[in-house]
Homo-oligomer: A and B are copies of this chain.
Amino acid sequence: MTGTKAISNISIDCIIFSFHNDELHTLLLKWAAGKSRGEWALPGGYVNYDENIDAAASRVLKIHTGLDHVYLEQLKAFGDVNRYPKKRVITITYFSLVKYSDIKVEASESVYEVQWFPVKNHPELIFDHQEILQFGLNRLKQIVRHEPIGFKLLPLEFTLLQLQSLYEAILETKFDKPNFRRKLLKMKLLNDTGKKQENVSHRAANLYKFDLNIYEKLKDKGFTFDL
């Protein structure tokens, strides 16, 4: 409470998910200073006294990705006594879904090394961050099946196969292509843009757009997105 504005025992950690190369990725950073130099960790920071925790999470996210106004949702508070070795710190974790193309990873401060890692193949993480990431993955699996948020990981316009690959990566299953297409189109949540894929060496697929408005309307009428 002297010069610092930060609350010393409450931190924020963010899992930042993106999807590219047919794999789900998460953004990790390597500490360049202090005792934990060289260790990989989730992006994080402390909550300030005059700052709501959601605002703190947004700030942390912005610092590390440059992004604002992104999907960001609280995951869980982790507060085991010894989760942080130096002192008792409870961390409130968030997870965020971003479009890979929106982020330029090299733009971060020089103190950190920042890198995307496939969630199925990433370096060891510091403290309880591995547990946090695992929890986030499970939560993502849950949510993605019952709410149409997968779209936030894709470009605005996408093909049905991209969408399918996304779900296959997250849910760790395979779908039948014609059936997946049928199911999604029947929901009427996708708008045909009329455009087609470009620069592919085969028949170009149609590009679709997710229509949030329609979804909101259907939801009011009792519709629930499922799988």
Q: Measured between alpha carbons, how far is A50 from B88 in the docked complex, in Å?
A: 9
A122 on the B face (CB < 8 A): no
Mask for A30-57, Cβ within 8 A of B = 1, else 0? 0000000000000000010111111000
Q: Is the Cβ of B74 less than 8 Å from the Cβ of A92? A: no
Tell me how far the C-beta of A76 lies from the nearest C-beta in chain B, rounded to whole angstroms: 6
Q: Which residues of B contact A77 (CB under 8 A)?
A: 53, 74, 77, 92
A111 on the B face (CB < 8 A): no
> What count of chain A residues pass the 8 Å CB interface test?
22
- In the complex where A9-B10, A142-B146 touch, is A79 in contact with B50 (Cβ < 8 A)? no
Q: Which residues of B contact A92 (CB under 8 A)?
A: 77, 79, 90
Mask for A48-77, Cβ within 8 A of B = 1, else 0? 011111100000000000000000001011
Q: Measured between alpha carbons, how far is A145 from B7 in the docked complex, in Å?
A: 38
Tell me how far the C-beta of A44 lies from the nearest C-beta in chain B, rounded to whole angstroms: 15
Q: Measured between alpha carbons, how far is A108 from B190 in the docked complex, in Å?
A: 55
Q: Which residues of B contact A79 (CB under 8 A)?
A: 10, 47, 52-54, 92
Mask for A142-168, Cβ within 8 A of B = 1, else 0? 100110000000000000000000000
- In the complex where A74-B77, A77-B53 touch, is A90 in contact with B10 (Cβ < 8 A)? yes
Top 8 nearest A-B pairs (CB, nearest first) are A53-B79, A77-B77, A52-B80, A77-B92, A52-B81, A74-B76, A10-B90, A50-B81
Q: Is the Cβ of B9 less than 8 Å from the Cβ of A7? A: yes
Tell me how far the C-beta of A99 lies from the nearest C-beta in chain B, rounded to whole angstroms: 26
Q: Is the Cβ of A81 less than 8 Å from the Cβ of B51? A: yes
Residue from A47, A76, A77 whose CB has the most chain B CB atoms within 10 Å = A77
Q: Which residues of B contact A81 (CB under 8 A)?
A: 49-52
Tell me how far the C-beta of A89 lies from the nearest C-beta in chain B, rounded to whole angstroms: 10
Tell me how far the C-beta of A216 lies from the nearest C-beta in chain B, rounded to whole angstroms: 16
Q: Measured between alpha carbons, how far is A172 from B4 in the docked complex, in Å?
A: 48
**Contact among B49, B80, B88 for A88, CB-based, below 8 A:** B49
Of all chain B residues, which has the CB nearest A92?
B77
Of all chain B residues, which has the CB nearest A52?
B80
